[in-house]
Amino acid sequence: MKHLLKMGDLNKEQIIELLDLADKLKAENKAGIKHPLLAGKTLGMIFQKSSTRTRVSFEVGMYQLGGYPLFLSSNDLQIGRGEPVEDTARVLSRYLDGIMIRTYAQKEVEDLAQYGSIPVINGLTDFAHPCQVLADLQTIREHKKDFDGLKMAYIGDGNNMANSLIVGGLTVGMEVACATPKDYQPDASVLEFAKDHPKFSISEDIYAAAKDADVLFTDVWASMGQEAQAEERRQAFQGIQINRDVMAVAKPDAMVQHCLPAHRGEEITAEIFEEHAQEIFDEAENRLHAQKAVMVKVMGGK
């Protein structure tokens, strides 16, 4: 495993291996056991999109692994002033041991990996959010013990979260049902990946998606960079919400996940969010542990 660019880079065995390592690192962290597996290594963190969870979890995670995290905003780099990505990749490869990038275009992440000679981790693009979905899968397994026989329902925008959850959920053997407005479906390449899978379904019917679900996911109606579309999306997404009626058709012990930040009253009601806050913030915490596992795997930690 050289890079983590999207969920499709990983097979089931690799995902389970990462989750097992994440669980181990989490248990050691809770027990106060230090694990300086990346001592002496440096991770450059490029942020062209701002972040709470991504920045803090990667920075703290690298510190806990004994390495050094270097925050690089687009304002600090020549890439923000037009330097080609391929040049940035070749320069940073001579200074760093790994790169995490949170940006808009998936191609930028792919180009960093192509032209650089060090591991690249996708911290988020408009297409994919693999680190978040690894944390999601870790949280599901913590609460449900196994993936076999589980149904995941995603209700909301067919965005980077939907793309990565579909691929990740199907890869580990879960049933995945999506409900999105017809003009806001997941990426065509993801639908092509899933179209013939017997455990995948997609429609506009949120109740069909949620029926007998073990875990329900949602995300904001307008993601970062889509602020100009906020009102248009607010109209299109009316009723696409996790609420009491939706939860009533899911399994009685269904859990709820949200990658945060949450807009209570839009994609999820405040009532349902607070009832499932423990699961949601377990999910947020697991960003730290899942990403530590990724860093150890791609950066050669022992």
Q: Is 35 annotated as a binding residue?
A: no
Question: Quick one: which of 110, 93, 86 has its CA closest to 4?
Answer: 110
Please identify which of the residues 132, 241, 257, 291 carries the catalytic annotation. 132
Q: Catalytic residue, from 55, 129, 141, 258: name it.
A: 129
- Asked if residue 90 belongs to a known ligand binding site, the reply is no
> Strand 175-179 relative to strand 151-155: parallel, antiparallel, unpaired?
parallel
Residue 287: active-site member: yes
Q: Is 233 a catalytic residue?
A: no
Is 269 assigned to a binding site?
Answer: no
- Is 201 known to sit in a ligand binding site? no
Q: Is 235 one of the catalytic residues? A: no
Known catalytic residue at 219: yes
Give me the phi and psi of 129, to 5 degrees please.
-140, 65
CA 112, CA 71: separation in Å to the nearest integer?
17
Map tokens 């679900």 to a residue: 213
- Marked catalytic residue, from 219, 241, 257, 289: 219
**70 belongs to an annotated ligand binding site:** no
Q: Which of 3, 141, 276, 287 is catalytic?
A: 287
Residue matched to tokens 């009685």: 252
Outline where DSSP puts E strands in the chain.
Answer: 42-47, 68-73, 98-102, 120-124, 151-155, 175-179, 200-203, 215-218, 255-258
Annotated binding residue at 55? Answer: no
126 Cβ contact partners less than 8 Å away, ≥ 6 residues apart? 104, 105, 106, 159, 160, 223, 225
Residue 171 annotated as lining a ligand binding site: no
Report which residue type is found at 179.
A
Please indicate if the annotation marks 119 as binding a ligand.
Answer: no
The reply, when asked if residue 94 is annotated as ligand binding, is no
Phi/psi of residue 199, nearest 5 degrees: -105, 15
Single out the catalytic residue among 3, 102, 141, 258. Answer: 102
User: Was 125 annotated as part of a binding site?
Assistant: no
| Residue 238 marked ligand-binding | no
Is 129 among the residues known to form the active site?
Answer: yes
Residue 289 annotated in ligand binding: no
Task: Please tell me whether the peptide bond between 261 and the residue prior to it is cis, using omega within 30 degrees of 0.
Answer: yes
Give the separation between CA 264 and CA 274, rounded to whole angstroms: 10
- Asked if residue 219 belongs to a known ligand binding site, the reply is yes
For the chain, first and last CA: distance in Å?
14
Catalytic residue among 259, 276, 289, 291: 259
**Binding-site residue ranges for carbamoyl phosphate:** 51-54, 78, 102, 129-132, 259-260, 287
Active site (catalytic) residues: 102, 129, 132, 219, 259, 287
**Binding-site residue ranges:** 51-54, 78, 102, 129-132, 160, 219, 223-224, 259-260, 287
**Binding-site residue ranges for L-ornithine:** 160, 219, 223-224
